[in-house]
Amino acid sequence: MGKNLKHQFIHAIEDNFKEGMDKHSMKSNDIRNDGKVFSYADRKNLIDLSSNFANYMKENYKDIRQVKEIRAEHIQSFLNEKSNSCSNATLKQYQAKFNKLEKVVNKTYNINTKYKGYTLPLSKENTKVRNTSMSIDDLKKLEKAFINSNSSAKIAIQLTSRAGLRVSECTKLQGRDINLKDNVIHVEGGKGGRNRDVPIREQDKEYFSSLKSNVGDRERVCPVQSDSINKSIDRAMKREGIRNKYNDTSIHCIRKMYAQNEFNRCRAEGMEIKQALQEVSVLLGHGEDRMELMRQYVLDIK
């Protein structure tokens, strides 16, 4: 192999580039495309990306010296940084090129390295306000706004920030659904009719114990309509001067904050990115294999 990543990538790209190669003819003759580069434009784009990536690796992962040592987490880190300045379309193009680079290096160097396993981040360039999770500072302001209130919105804020519940799930929750024996919140008939149990974290046990003690088993914890909660929170956010930060419903922004916190917890416990996203998806009531959707909830993937 070459002396550095950049030269190794370029050698593999050149090795798989054949002038005048006909991709359509190959397909019609059932010849596998296992890494072949068909055009000068593809060749240039692959060289540009691999050179850019090699420079990033040299700066951030100096101990990685061969293409076979590159892992999904290295590409994840690179794409996370690029998401600050690149559009979603550009990030998807990068993904396709990394897939091609995996094929060319495996073919040229007769190895079986796997570059896949990362999750494509959402672009932060011109990020829509809708894709904003509530900050901890704004959550504290919102909590303070309800400190002397008996509004159901006050409880809904806590149910969402501590257990990720949707506003409709907050209004359905009954006292018996707070299971202190098993330390779970039972969500009955969530979106799509799905039931789920959300773990009560250690730091939240005291809060849920107090909440359960103040409501009967078959009483609703938030005995109002969803719209009433949303309107109440909306008014409080306006009073606190934070409403213009969020174009989404406030509860949804809090759900995104919960999702990010749970993702960070999973990663800190040693889970791989995909496994962590899967767990958060289930906690939110989306089920498994919803990776594209989870990119809208977990905005900082690393």
What's the average model confidence in pLDDT over 16-28? 61
**Does pLDDT of 41 surpass 60?**
yes
**Domains of the chain, each with CATH number or no CATH:** 5-109 (no CATH), 131-294 (1.10.443.10)
Q: How far apart are CA 229 and CA 156, in angstroms?
A: 8
Instruction: Phi first, then psi: give them for residue 179, nearest 5 degrees.
Output: -95, 95
Predicted local distance difference test score (pLDDT) of residue 1: 63
**Does pLDDT of 29 surpass 60?**
no
State the DSSP string of 175-240: GGGEETTTTEEEE-S-GGG--EEEEPPGGGHHHHHHHHHTS-TTSBSS-S-HHHHHHHHHHHHHHT
In the chain, the percentage of residues whose pLDDT exceeds 70 is 91
Q: Distance between terminal CA atoms of the chain?
A: 30
More reliable by pLDDT, 138 or 20: 138
State the average pLDDT for the chain: 88
Predicted local distance difference test score (pLDDT) of residue 89: 85
**Does pLDDT of 225 surpass 70?**
yes
